[in-house]
Structure 1
Amino acid sequence: MLRLTWVQPEDLIGHELRQAALDGREPSAIAARWSAAGGRAAPLRAGASPEPASRYLRTLAEDLLDELADLPSRLADREPTDLTRIKAGCPSWPAPAPAGVPTPARYEAAWLGRAIGCLLGKPVEKLPLEAIRQLAEAAGNRPLNTYFTARGVPPELLAAHPWNRRSTHTSLAENIDGMPEDDDLNYPLLNLLLLQRHGRTFTTTDVGRLWLDELPAGRTFTAERIAYRNLLTGIDPPHTARHRNPFREWIGALIRADVHGWTNPGDPAAAAEQAHRDATLTHTANGVYAAMFTAAVIAQAATATGPHDIHTCLRTGLTVIPPTSRLAQAVQHAIQLADRHGDFDTVVDELHAAHAPTHHWVHAIPNTALIAAALTHANGDFTGSICRAVSGGWDTDSNGATAGSIAALLAGAPTSLPDRWTAPLKNRLATSVADFNGTGFDALAHLTHRLTPLEAPHP
């Protein structure tokens, strides 16, 4: 029996009940109806329930998902998704700053940094925080300083906390042989195609068409899989992000933001606006803000003079999202924690205490906060940033990828990244996107450089 993850209504309803409560709706009456009918009250951690629901229960789930979407939100005015309203709520919306186009070497560093951070986090994705700490400690790799390994780890610990099963043979230090496929790299590749085909004035509909042409459905997850399904059933953007989509504030749009930042050096507002058009295919509110924040941080980092500029970059990122939003408040809190505590474990523990009880581990709010904390605490240093981001748990590969992209861009060149990180990648990327399989990071850097307009703000 084929049980697809992230699409069955009976599996989505628990996630939607949780998300509705987070975004200011009042779902308790609908939750009671679902429970009284025998539905699962709590969402699955991941995946699909092992057996299909009855026809009655599935139909009820579909109806309740629609009812939940119609509930009014007390946060609607504080957290709009419409770009005009977002900009109206951002009193310090940034102006373009003088900047030259980064060199291909700088883009190569950014691509490598994204891949390295992703690869570092892959073996421990989905593992609880304490398991990550124990596995690193057992291998003599805590504080984290290099790729995870099974060497020296007691068998009983591996049995208690098995590696992410899809990554064991490609992402442990002893097994790395080039960069394996991952959605955290697939989406930047798709956005290169997007800019090649449609330019900087692409529409959200263009993003959707590109996905149908070039992105295998089985390579999508959470909000992206829901939006893909919605496109196939004839639903147009931006309703694709809202229709029966409880993952609309998760991390998926954030991991698509890098190219928008890379190709708008010195213009964080333009980067954020591009990220918004991309993100609204699949996400709303804080899910969109996470992408806009990240794109703006990267656009600023593309013009920076070194890792120490990370603090300015993060402040710039906050200017493109509503200061009253939950994401802005979470990021500001995370930065304050990172400034206050010398021990990053303390920062992580406080972030988990604040967010783990209410947010899924893939939600954009806690993960964006952790990325900001890691970059702040490491003062923009590449190794420090990716290791802190991954050691903090939650969506480890995505967090490592974004932190790595930003910190490597600040580092400025591939030669600034330690060989222990870059050498195992062998300048080779695996993917199922278009004709990119086996492409080198140097080639991707030149392509990114060509897509960066020379008329961007420059001296």
Structure 2
Amino acid sequence: MNEEILRKKILGCWHGKNIGGTLGGPYEGFPVVNRLTFYDPVPEGSIANDDLELQAMYAAALDEMERVEITRDVLADIWLRHMNFHVDEYAVAMKNLSLGIRPPWSGVYDNHFTDGMGAAIRSELWACLAPGNPQLAAEFAREDSCIDHAGAGADAEIFFAALESGAFAGNDLHTLIAEALKFLPEDSSLGESIRRTCELWEKHRDWRTVRDLLFEHYATEFRTSVEINIPFTVLALLSGGGEFGKTICDAANCGMDTDCTAATAGAILGILNPDGIPAEWLAPVGHKLVVRESAVRGLRFPETIEAFTEQILNLRKRLVPSVKTYVTPEPDWTVFQVSAEYSMKKNLHWYHVNLREQNWTPVRLPMISGSLEVPEEFRGNGGQIVLRYRFELPADGVYTVLFNTPTSCQVYLDPESEDLHDDRDMLFGRQRLFLEREVRPMRFRCADRPLIFNPTPGGAPQNQVKRYLKLPRGMHTLIIALAPLPSEERIYWGMGIAEGSRFLTGISR
């Protein structure tokens, strides 16, 4: 490919990514239809966004290496040295990597977010390093995605990397989608949802109709799931008809993970037609590459999107154009489990916990994700399950305590008596409505389960996490009382102790 054409397409990719992320950023996470036709509010510069920051992190770290080779181990080491973004799958992967769990297992173990969008948004770098070579771009994406994802979450990055790489050489969107799908397993759930999106568009040719059908079928309370957000991105590419502004607005107007969907759609159009990015869309965000020091540490970054483009062009010339994947044996997961105890009792006064009456049973659990089967006699009607965790803090400091569950719960820290009451001793908690169905049946299943299960310190709802706790060095005890509904055959939760949003490891006792 002509060097100047390549430069223009890579530059268009990053301008499109930056513009789309800034457009969708203010609307991120809401399962509603938006009505954007332009930025609202109109920004004075681009919004910082992990969609761009993490790819800038990779490029800057690879640029410092004598041998530019893209493997899962190289990329995982970049995370350990430079990553400081502890939300959702990033937080889990960082916890796993710090424990010595290497990819692909770092993306699998103890990870509620395997199907999240965190890998899909990192696809453009691999396409820009392997333009017109979807096979190589998909291999790079496979190496990257397994750090913090598995299944559909990994498939999403592979799909977009292949599509974007193909866009450097072709311009028929339907062909690009069809060719990119070939890199996914035949039984990929994401592949099925992308094909369904294309079929629905061909049948209805109406953005709102297809958007609602996709939402009804794929949306859940997991608002960063690839299973809904990748179809939304594909829908916007189809409905936008190649028009830059309409395409990124259609993506953001679908709702859910709007900064990611609009950013990816913008990047793809920027590759396909870099001259098609209107000046009025570029002017408000400008040319600056924004990377927060709070998100990435220990690296120097180009100051502009243009300089970032030159960095990638230079990396491409130094890149080892192949991937060597080494098989990492599955670890012995018992090594990474933590100790806890539980007790099941009848207690009609669920807001009260009497520790003297508990019959404790020891159990070993993953560090974050826990679950227990609930015998029928303890489901509703006064059934109470009490958990006890003990942990040792290495120093006096300010910490975060997380306990995230859909079940009614009370959380107590270092109780001073054995007779606990929620209005006197509770650190935090939630009371779930005591109904078989929490809300009336609605058209969209996303609204049927407003549970907000997001088990990381930076993502859990306010009544299931306590931040800025000043705690002394030494041993601490966490007591959690849960009241299952009659329908809850199994309860589940996510728990952890953190500094800020970074999980602490090795403190369970």
Per the normalisation by structure 2, the TM-score is: 0.59
Correspondence for 1:184: 51
Correspondence for 1:352: 215
User: Which sections of structure 1, spanning at least 5 residues, go unmatched?
Assistant: 1-98, 137-143, 149-171
- Tell me if structure 1 keeps the 8 A contact 2:60–2:301: no
**Does residue 214 in structure 1 map to residue 73 in structure 2?**
no
**Does residue 311 in structure 1 map to residue 214 in structure 2?**
no
**Does residue 361 in structure 1 map to residue 223 in structure 2?**
yes
More helix by share: 1
- Choose the corresponding residue for 1:379, options 227, 241, 254: 241
Correspondence for 1:399: 261
Q: For 2:190 and 2:66, how far apart are their aligned partners in 1?
A: 30
* Counterpart residue type for residue 314 of structure 2: R
Deviation, structure 1 residue 265: 1.2
Q: For 1:104 and 1:223, how far apart are their aligned partners in 2?
A: 32
Change (3 A) 1:303 1:451: farther
- Choose the corresponding residue for 1:389, options 242, 251, 272: 251
Q: For 2:81 and 2:318, how far apart are their aligned partners in 1?
A: 29
**Does residue 326 in structure 1 map to residue 218 in structure 2?**
no
Correspondence for 2:126: 260
Q: For 1:209 and 1:454, how far apart are their aligned partners in 2?
A: 20
Change (3 A) 1:198 1:324: farther
Deviation, structure 1 residue 223: 1.0
Correspondence for 2:99: 233
Correspondence for 1:92: none
- Tell me if structure 1 keeps the 8 A contact 2:21–2:47: no
Q: For 1:186 and 1:209, how far apart are their aligned partners in 2?
A: 17
**Does residue 421 in structure 1 map to residue 313 in structure 2?**
no
Q: For 1:187 and 1:446, how far apart are their aligned partners in 2?
A: 17
* Counterpart residue type for residue 11 of structure 2: E
**Does residue 441 in structure 1 map to residue 305 in structure 2?**
yes
Deviation, structure 1 residue 423: 0.5
Report SS of the residue matched to 1:452.
Answer: helix
TM-superposition CA deviations, 1:178-236 (whole Å, max 9, x none)? 223211111111221354337663221211211122222xx232111100111112222
More strand by share: 2
Aligned pairs (5 A) from 1:13-32: none
* Counterpart residue type for residue 373 of structure 1: L
- Tell me if structure 2 keeps the 8 A contact 1:194–1:202: no
- Choose the corresponding residue for 1:292, options 154, 158, 175: 158
- Tell me if structure 1 keeps the 8 A contact 2:270–2:277: yes
Deviation, structure 1 residue 379: 2.8
* Counterpart residue type for residue 289 of structure 2: L
Change (3 A) 1:438 1:262: closer
Aligned pairs (5 A) from 1:148-163: 148=40
Q: For 2:203 and 2:66, how far apart are their aligned partners in 1?
A: 45
Report SS of the residue matched to 2:55.
Answer: helix
TM-superposition CA deviations, 1:399-453 (whole Å, max 9, x none)? 111111001111134xx31122100112112213455567111111111222224
User: Which sections of structure 2, spanning at least 5 residues, go unmatched?
Assistant: 322-509
Deviation, structure 1 residue 392: 0.7
* Counterpart residue type for residue 188 of structure 1: Q
Correspondence for 2:315: 451
TM-superposition CA deviations, 1:163-183 (whole Å, max 9, x none)? xxxxxxxxx21xx22223211
* Counterpart residue type for residue 290 of structure 1: A
RMSD: 2.2
- Tell me if structure 1 keeps the 8 A contact 2:56–2:301: no
Q: For 1:286 and 1:228, how far apart are their aligned partners in 2?
A: 20
- Tell me if structure 1 keeps the 8 A contact 2:67–2:318: no
Q: For 1:261 and 1:456, how far apart are their aligned partners in 2?
A: 15
Change (3 A) 1:362 1:424: same
Q: For 1:113 and 1:341, how far apart are their aligned partners in 2?
A: 28
TM-superposition CA deviations, 1:51-81 (whole Å, max 9, x none)? xxxxxxxxxxxxxxxxxxxxxxxxxxxxxxx
Change (3 A) 1:382 1:280: same
* Counterpart residue type for residue 444 of structure 1: F
Correspondence for 2:113: 247
- Tell me if structure 1 keeps the 8 A contact 2:12–2:270: yes
Q: For 2:57 and 2:238, how far apart are their aligned partners in 1?
A: 29
Q: For 1:315 and 1:231, how far apart are their aligned partners in 2?
A: 35
Correspondence for 1:25: none
- Tell me if structure 2 keeps the 8 A contact 1:334–1:369: yes
Correspondence for 2:356: none
Q: For 1:451 and 1:360, how far apart are their aligned partners in 2?
A: 36
- Higher-Rg structure is 2
Q: For 1:202 and 1:194, how far apart are their aligned partners in 2?
A: 11
- Tell me if structure 1 keeps the 8 A contact 2:134–2:166: yes
Change (3 A) 1:389 1:205: same
- Tell me if structure 1 keeps the 8 A contact 2:68–2:315: no
Change (3 A) 1:198 1:285: farther
